[in-house]
Structure 1
Amino acid sequence: MSTPFRHVALFGKYQAQGVRPILEEIAQFLVRGGVEVSVDHDTAMNSDWLDYGAMRIDELAQVCDLAVVVGGDGTMLGIGRELARHGIPLVGINQGRLGFITDIPATNWREALAPMIKGDYEAESRPMIEGGVWRDGEQIFQGFALNDVVVRSSTSSMIELRVTVGADHMANIRSDGVIVASPTGSTAYALSAGGPILHPGIGGWAMVPVASHTLSNRPIVLPDDQEVLLELVQGKEASANFDMHGLASMLLGDTVRMQRSQHKARFLHPRGWSYYATLRNKLHWHEGTA
């Protein structure tokens, strides 16, 4: 049992219809329990909901000790990236579809949230990728990713990437693109491209070619304690995407450099939460008769 939370920051997917009513209910629930509430600036402004003020993320991080996010995994990823450097844990209430990390259904958030606010929860940390794009010895772009880094062409044409891991040249990969995914991102784009699922406790990244032009280029799990470099050797209109949020256009000779971030995203789950149960539920795995 951990220390109860005192000040909660509320975030919502304000583009979704009907998010304000549930945010209002959560805020009232928290206040009745003696918890102070503040609301993310973008959520408040776009929902026309200023009852609890409107603070930007850096401001919230100075006063709040927990973030409650209402939305889907995409919303959770965006907030998780921003709050990781502040060490603020997140709880996700799912209004999306899959919900691998926003694991509390919107239908029973009260039952799940009540004990968590009092300090009764399961906690985990998820590693992040940080890096950027380098050109002629200079960094021209910096990005952070909780899910993945993707290099591909906007024209869906073949590109060739020279892959270096640490000091070792690994391979030249010709494909429609290459995904480097964290364990969190291993159940996203990398999974749909045929990559493996990585347990969050594994210190590694999944590197997955997208539609490889050489059948022997297969997904591989790389250690995350070494820098990974992807140099663009061939291809037009290529770009590097960090969580599909940060986008940098690349020229021939440009290199994407990635390393394990010193920051981790902290997620809290209801007591009894299981990563394997999440996989069974979301991927519809057969549970057997036992």
Structure 2
Amino acid sequence: MRIAIHGRNFPESARPYIQSMFEELAKRQAEVVISEGYRDFLDKAGVAHYSEATYSTTEGVANADFIFSLGGDGTLLDAVTHVGPRLIPIIGINIGRLGFLATVAPPSIRLMIDALFTGQFSIDERSLVSVRSNQDIFGNLPFGLNDFTITRTQTSSMITVHTYLDGEFLNSYWADGVIISTPSGSTGYSLSCGGPVLLPQTNNFIITPISPHNLNVRPMIVMDSCQLAFEVESRSGNFLAALDSRSFTVETSVRISVQKETFPARLVKLSDDNFLNTLRSKLNWGWDIRN
């Protein structure tokens, strides 16, 4: 089995679990390939990884059976760009904080590896958002798992986002910006701006305004089979376009369209991985602090 591994820095408390993970993979004679940046960090941290093979994050990983993401949800979003259309299953190991996507706790790493080798897992396919424009904004990575956002730059005032749904005018959002969220991203930026939580397999996008000037403007759910298009007005002549964690300043002359990507992200789901349980534990639903 060939395992690709990507991660970020980790607290000292996680070191024994990460070292144990590499030892377990070596014991099972797995072929391990590590992202270049993470390999350098592991070497500096003194973690023995038993592998000299690396892959470039700009070129992406190929020919792997699985990719391990060690960090928080942001690290897993990075791993999605490393995989791209190759459909390599991703396992999120939560070395970060909240972790709606990275659901494997460090003490469960050995059990997770055993589940992979024995086939005791399922694949959860998550839809991606795809961004197209008349200017090359995101290069060869015009897709994201969580959301696409149009926001004002730090020095600009409120912007106007003229929005079209399948070619028909929908609304002009006078706001700090607009979020187009996938179901996976519904627990992220969109949620903090008042958007609804969607189950992962819901075939929808959420249009969530950011601090709208008109208080009667609310988040809207649309089918992900539609195409959204945007024209932006800004006094500064530019705005910020962000796709997951990648953001660029864009001129208002640029026209942008958003639709569902042709390929999904494939997340490994273990037997005890349940989205409703994750919601309750991460958002403290059903908890009463008086008890």
Q: What aligned pairs does 1:268-283 form with structure 2 within 5 A after superposition?
A: 268-283=268-283
Q: In the aligned structure 1, how far is the partner of 2:60 from the partner of 2:147?
A: 26
In the alignment, residue 81 of structure 2 is paired with which amino acid?
R
CA contact (8 A) 2:17 2:107 kept: no
Q: What aligned pairs does 1:5-84 form with structure 2 within 5 A after superposition?
A: 6-13=1-8, 15-18=9-12, 21-48=16-43, 51-57=50-56, 61-84=61-84
Shift of residue 50 of structure 1? 6.5
Shift of residue 110 of structure 1? 1.6
For residues 157-215 of structure 1, the C-alpha deviation after alignment (integer angstroms, 9 at most, x for no partner) is 21001001112110111001111111111100000000011111111111100010011
Gaps of 5+ in 1: 1-5
Could you state the TM-score of these two structures normalised by the residue count of structure 1? Answer: 0.88
Q: In the aligned structure 2, how far is the partner of 1:94 from the partner of 1:260?
A: 27
Give the alignment partner of residue 137 of structure 2, picking from 114, 135, 141.
141
**Match in the other structure for 1:176:** 176
Q: What aligned pairs does 1:1-290 form with structure 2 within 5 A after superposition?
A: 6-13=1-8, 15-18=9-12, 21-48=16-43, 51-57=50-56, 61-134=61-134, 139-142=135-138, 143-155=142-154, 157-236=157-236, 237-245=238-246, 247-286=247-286
Gaps of 5+ in 2: none
**Match in the other structure for 1:3:** none
CA contact (8 A) 2:60 2:81 kept: no
Q: In the aligned structure 1, how far is the partner of 2:235 from the partner of 2:283?
A: 35
CA contact (8 A) 1:9 1:66 kept: yes
Q: Between the two proteins, what is the percent identity of the paired residues?
A: 26
Q: In the aligned structure 1, how far is the partner of 2:201 from the partner of 2:83?
A: 20
In the alignment, residue 43 of structure 1 is paired with which amino acid?
Y
Could you state the TM-score of these two structures normalised by the residue count of structure 2? Answer: 0.88
Q: In the aligned structure 2, how far is the partner of 1:109 from the partner of 1:270?
A: 11
CA contact (8 A) 1:133 1:141 kept: yes
In the alignment, residue 223 of structure 2 is paired with which amino acid?
P
| RMSD over aligned Cα atoms | 2.1
Shift of residue 16 of structure 1? 3.1
Shift of residue 272 of structure 1? 3.2
